[in-house]
Every structure is written in structure tokens, then in C-alpha cells.
Structure 1
Amino acid sequence: MLVAALVAGSGVTVEAHAGGPTDGNRLRRDVAAVHALGLPGVQARLVGPDGRDVVATAGVADLRTGRPVPPNGRARIASTGKAFIATVVLQLVGEGRMGLDDPVEKWLPGLIRGNGNDGRAITVRHLLQHTSGLHDDVPDFATAADYYAHRYDTYTPADLLGRTLRHPPDFAPGTRWRYSNIGYIVAEMVIDRVTGRPWHEEVRRRVLTKAGMRDTTWPGNDPTLPNPHARGYHEFDDAPGMTDVTEQVIVDGGAAFVSTTADVNRFFRALLGGRLVKPAQLAEMTRTVPLGPEFEELLPGARYGLGLFERPLPCGGTYWSHPGGGSGYTSDNGVTRDGRRSVAVSVSGTRPALFLQHQHTVDRVVENGLCGSGSGGN
């Protein structure tokens, strides 16, 4: 039976489908700490080994009306979608239709050339591992005025790759690690070529449907979100307070997925539980390399596989995750190595001045949930 409790004076609601009071109390406190950073709305969902969950929300879904954060609300999950794309690629590898060490040139002949960029030297593994060296030049909003002027702009993957090719590579492929949105955009183009179908249709068929993610959608160039949802806000230097940035086209297709905390949990549990890729390919996904120095402060102790971060747990062992951020929403998540305990968090608000503090506070929601009663990191 669903139990709902409003904690007096905290603005935090807990809906407990499962888990003991310890799990619910800890989740409530951790969610309240995220909201206390001045972020409008927070939702977190912990799923235990028995598959039942605890949900906590804080703040409001709409700063104008004050309506509460819906516990089943949809939100943009940004780069969490990279894990979906990597999963499709690894499925295709497991089917023998492509190889991780195939040069990109094999699938996209002549497409990556110029300014020292060369698709013959970049492999599919490099794309998924953030070691391709391709320079990121995906458009973003620097100011509120920029948002209002360009929120409906659209780009094709070829347009975005063209922006990248105006720059020399950041480094030779395979020699360093640097987070790369364009690498995953190129991976989407490879999926198109290998399957003869749009990459997002392959994600829907191979990942969303298989994992039972009924509330996860890819919007294409639709700038709106399906209901129910919290509105997304961003703090720009040229505007007072928080700017409502809910309505916009997400130009990086892999970062455009809209999902729920329930569905994000379903995905990571299915993936690490061995239900989406074969054991050999899951082993490839979880074979990690060190991050670049620019990420060490953001995600201390983390390493990267193929579409997955491996992160240390304070209670011992590690967990698997792929956070995402931007466009007024951030997504954080984690699942234990055995796929039995997971946490997903959605925050409707971004404040660049609090970037590190935001990430570390949300990480505590995930880590404390995974280290909860009866859990272990391994």
C-alpha cells in the first residue's frame, strides 16, 4: 500500500512503496540538501533488491504556480542517453554486425577528414570511450538573450560534425581522455549506417522496449515535454533569478531523451543485470580507463568504460552510472555491480556558479541510497 508522508516545514514528500524507514529518512534528508542549494525541484527514486521503491521529492515543479514536484514526472536526462547509445552499439557488436575496433572510416567513408581529423585513425571504441580526440563544438546557450534567440534552432548530425571539423583534433585518437558529445553523435551516425534505420528507432526497439521503459521518449525537434513534468530553470548572468528554459529544441539528439526516475532505474538494472547485452559485451562496457584531469574534481575517483562511469562507493566497492546535465535539468543515477540496487535523481534547475557543489550533493543522494540497509557496492 502506498504511504505518503509530508514532513512538516521541510517541503519534502516521501512516497514509500518499499524500503524501511531508514532508507526513506536518508533519501528525504539528501533530497532536501539538494533543494537547499536554491534548485527549484528535486525527485529521487531508490529501488531495492526486491524491485520495490522509495521516492522523495522536494521543492516545486513551477516557480510561478508553486505546484509540487510530481513523483512520476518526466524530465530531460541529457547525457544519461549516452548509455542508451553505447548499449545499442554493443548489441550490434554482439550480433557480429560491427566491431568495436572498426575504424569510423569503414562505416562513414570520407566523412571525417580535414584539419588533422581522420576517420581512418578513430575507432568505434574511441567514440564510446571519449578518446577520439574530436573537438566538441556543440552549440549551447551562454546568456538568457541567447536562449530566447536560439531555443528553436535545429541542427543535423552532419551540421554538428561540420562544426567539429573546423577545429584540429584535441589529441591523437586513443592517447588521452576528454568528454566528447560529438563522439556520440558520430556513433549515432554509425548506428544509422550499420542498421539502415534511424539510431533513435534502434534505441527505442533495442533498449527502451526491452527494458520496459514505457515513459521514455525521444522528442526529435519538438521543444516541449509531455506531462506530468517539472519546468526546467537555468541561472544566467544576464538575467535576474532563474530563467524558465523548459521550451527548447535539444540539438544533440542523444541528449534529448525524456524519461522518469522509474525508467532510468529500469534501464540501469536491466543493463547491469545482463538483460540488454551479452556478457562479453557487458565486460567491454565495464572495462575502464582514467578520466581526464578536467573531470577529476567533478567526479572524484571515477573511471570511464563505454557509455558508463565507474565510481567508488563510500561503503566499499564501486557503482555504475551516467550523469547528465544541461537544458535546465540534471540527471544522476547509480546501480550496484549486480544490478540489484539502484537510484535515479532528477533536478529541475541548473546554477553554473554551484556546478561542483550541485554535482557532489546529488552524488550523495545516489551513494547513500546504494549504501543503504542491506546493500553492498559489489
Structure 2
Amino acid sequence: MTTTRLPHRRIVAALLAAATLVALAPSAAIAAPAVSPSASLDLQPELNALVEQGTSTAALAEVRDHGRTIFRGAVGTADLATGQPARADGRFRIASTTKTFVSTITLQLVDEGRIKLDDPIEHYLPGAIPNGDAITIRQLLNHTSGLYNYLDDPHVRSNTEAGNREFLATGRWTEYTPQRLLAISTAKPPYFAPGQGWHYSNTNYVVIGMLIQQVTGHSWRDEVEARIIQPLGLRHTTLPTDSTAVPGPHAHGYFKFPEGPGDVTRLSPTIADAAGAGISTTDDLARFHASLFGGRLLSPARLSEMTTTVPIPGAPDHAEYGLGVVRYDLSCGQFWGHPGEIPGYSTGLLGTRDGSRQYALSYNEYDKSDSAQSNRLYRAFEEKALCGLAASG
């Protein structure tokens, strides 16, 4: 699909060059707190700008600080055909933000002694991956395996107007298996020898999904559901297997064509698999981030490994990649999360290392012709969402 953007969108070209689609809980569900009148943050102007001055049809966001929702808002149009307004509780495709969920499950299996991060993947999936005896689980999680990104193959997705038309007409209905995605990848030479470079590759997480299935006997979706979604009460987070729909209220996603918009909301999630098939809401994502970085899903040792990073070659703002999470340096400090992008939907999820505050954002970028303007507007929202909190806190 198109290039997956990290929240600092100036990183796009260097970081996710072709990563389109495409970061031990108590048993009781967590109720969403009410917005605190004593601690609020007015981000509506910045959210409005993403639609009014930018190139999006809709944008929705939530900001939380120490468990309190201090901003929740929506702007724009959910359906261009009907004029229905976007809703703040709307669902959306989270794309590569799914990777943080999948990485969390993998690290829980490490906590349980069922896998080791520096074991070769060959140990768990014998014969499945060429050179698998030289590729470790850690290298898959932090994108240093060298495996070719199946989305770099133009036969899967070409990020051009012609490619968008083809995807809208037929490509979005194509059903893939993890094995087929892996075969597309392994038919191409690797980018580099394992551990000798960094390249964002959705193939890495397709393999991790296969690993989870092999070790647990359950799909990665079932494990995320049982270990994260249900314990945290993330009632609006789903991991579709073959349904092309976004359930519940949602803003539609579009391609822009000279003759008008092409609605690309419905698509087969199999093209993303464990690399980015998730659907969620800003509230669910923010609460997941708070639980993960607040230490409720992983041991301190595993959370430390998750946030041990490798450099992203050429990335500005000192961004580095951990195990399914990215570290960014903003003007007020370091923050952690993972972005996502799939046709029609862009996602941002970012917050503090201690889980005390975070924001989640979805915006439907319809017109990509002025990326510099979109970058400025996104950065303005991000800085105020997190650094505005830092200044006031």
C-alpha cells in the first residue's frame, strides 16, 4: 500500500519506504474515564486544521493524561455520499499499529519461557523461511532480518494513480494466506544479511504471526483477543479474518481521482495479516498504550527489551525502532508508539514511556498532493497533544 507513516511524518521516506498497511492484565474490564473538567486540553483547532487546511475528509482523536480523557473530538465527514459527520467514537483500520499488539504477545511468550528472542526462527518454523537458521525472532520484531517486504512487490500494490485504480477495482478483494505473503517475499532476494541493516518489512510480522500459531496452537488473532482485548475491555477492537467491512460507526476512506473520490473503505484484511489487520477506536488504542507502557502487559524485563532500539538509517528526529514500537524525540522529550497506514486510513499512537499520557489519532487523508502541508499540520497536533500536556503538567 502507500508508505506507512510514523507520527513524525518527515521520517516517511527513510523509515517505512514501502510499508503501506500497513505497537499481565487484570481480568476486569477497564471503564473509560470521563473527561476531567479540571484538566483539559483544547486540540479542536489543530484537529479542525487537518480537514479544513489539510487534505483529510475526517479526523478523530483522544488524549489521555494519568488515566483521564482530557480531549476527545472529531471533525469532517464520515460519508461523502450522505454528508454524515464523523464521530469521535468511530472505528477505523489501525494498519501497522497492529504490530505493537502482536509484539506484545510475542514478548509475553518470552516471559512464559516458551520462546527466546535470540533463537533462530528455524527452531520454531523449520524449513519455512530461507536462511531461517540465521534470522532471530528479535530481528523479525525490529526489522533487521533483511526479509523482502511483500508490499514492495508492485504486483501486490503500486502506489500510483493507476495502482490505486487497480486496487479499488480488484486488488482490495484479493485474499491472501500468510504462506502466500511469505512466498511473495522469499521469491525476492533479501535486502541484506540478517542483522546487517534495517528495512521496514511487513513480512517480518507475517512470520511472527506464524510463530505465535506454532507455539500456542492458536492464531495470533485469538491470542491478542484472549491476552489483550478481553482483559483490557477493548470492546471496539477487532481483528478481522476475512470480513471486508469496518463494523460499527466509522468514517469512510477514499482515494482521490480527477473525476471524484473512490471509496476504499471495504477491503480484504488478509493483505495485512499480523502486520496490520486490526480495527479499533482512539479510546481503545489510548487505553492499550497506557496499559502496555504502564507495565500491565509485560514484565519490566520484557518492556525494557521492547524499548531497546536500533537506528533507523536516515531518519530525522532521532527516531529509532524497538520491538514493535518506535521511539521519537519531540521538543519536550521522548515518546513511544507506532503509526499505521492502509488505503483510506492513517493512524497515530504515541505516549510517554511510563504510560502516564498518550494520544491516539485517526485521519482519512484523501488528497496526498501536498505532503509538506500535511506534515506541518500533523506535527502541530502531535506537539500540542503531548508537549502541551508536558507544559501544563
Partner of 1:290: 311
**How is 1:1-378 mapped onto 2 (pairs within 5 angstroms)?**
17-18=35-36, 23-24=41-42, 27-35=43-51, 36-113=53-130, 118-138=131-151, 139-140=156-157, 142-235=163-256, 239-250=258-269, 251-254=271-274, 255-293=276-314, 296=315, 300-315=317-332, 317-355=333-371, 357-373=373-389
Q: 1:21 offset after TM fit, Å?
A: 8.0
Deviation at residue 177 of structure 1 after TM alignment = 1.0
**Distance in 2 between residues matched to 1:327 and 1:292, nearest whole Å:** 26
**What code does the residue aligned with 1:281 have?**
R
Whether the 8 Å CA contact 1:49–1:341 is kept in 2: the answer is: yes
Determine the C-alpha separation between the residues in 2 that align with 1:353 and 1:93.
44
Residue 184 of structure 1: how far off its partner (Å)? 0.6
Please give the alpha-carbon distance, in whole angstroms, between the structure 1 residues aligned to 2:272 and 2:389: 39
Give the partner amino acid of 1:66. G
Q: Which secondary structure state, in structure 2, belongs to the residue aligned with residue 132 of structure 1?
A: coil
SS in 1 for 2:79: coil
Please report how far the alpha carbon of residue 355 of structure 1 lies from its aligned counterpart in structure 2 after TM superposition.
4.3
Q: Distance in 1 between matches of 2:335 and 2:304?
A: 14
TM-score, L = length of structure 1: 0.88
Query: How high is the sequence identity, in percent, across the aligned residues?
Result: 40
What is the CA-CA distance between 1:256 and the residue it aligns to?
1.4
Letter in 1 for 2:346: T
Superposition TM-score, scaled by structure 2 size: 0.84
Instruction: Give the Cα–Cα distance (whole angstroms) in 1 for the partners of residues 77 and 142 of structure 2.
Output: 37
Superposed CA RMSD: 1.9
Greater length-normalized contact order (CA 8 Å, ≥ 6 residues apart): 2
Which position in structure 2 is the counterpart of 1:12?
A: none
The aligned amino acid for 2:57 is P
Q: Check whether the contact 1:344–1:366 (CA below 8 A) recurs between aligned residues.
A: no
Contact 1:19 1:48 in 2 (8 A): no
Q: Which runs of 5+ in 1 are unaligned?
A: 1-15
Q: For 1:115-160, what per-residue CA distance to the aligned partner results, in whole angstroms no more than 9, with x for missing partners?
A: xxx1111000000001110011232252213321222110000000
Cα distance 1:354–1:121, how it changes in 2: closer, same or farther (>3 A)? farther
SS of aligned partner of 1:143? helix
Match of 1:7 in 2: none
Distance change (3 Å), C-alpha of 1:272 and 1:252: same
Asked whether the 8 Å contact 2:55–2:368 carries over to 1, the reply is no
| Aligned-partner Cα distance in 1 for 2:336–2:67 | 19
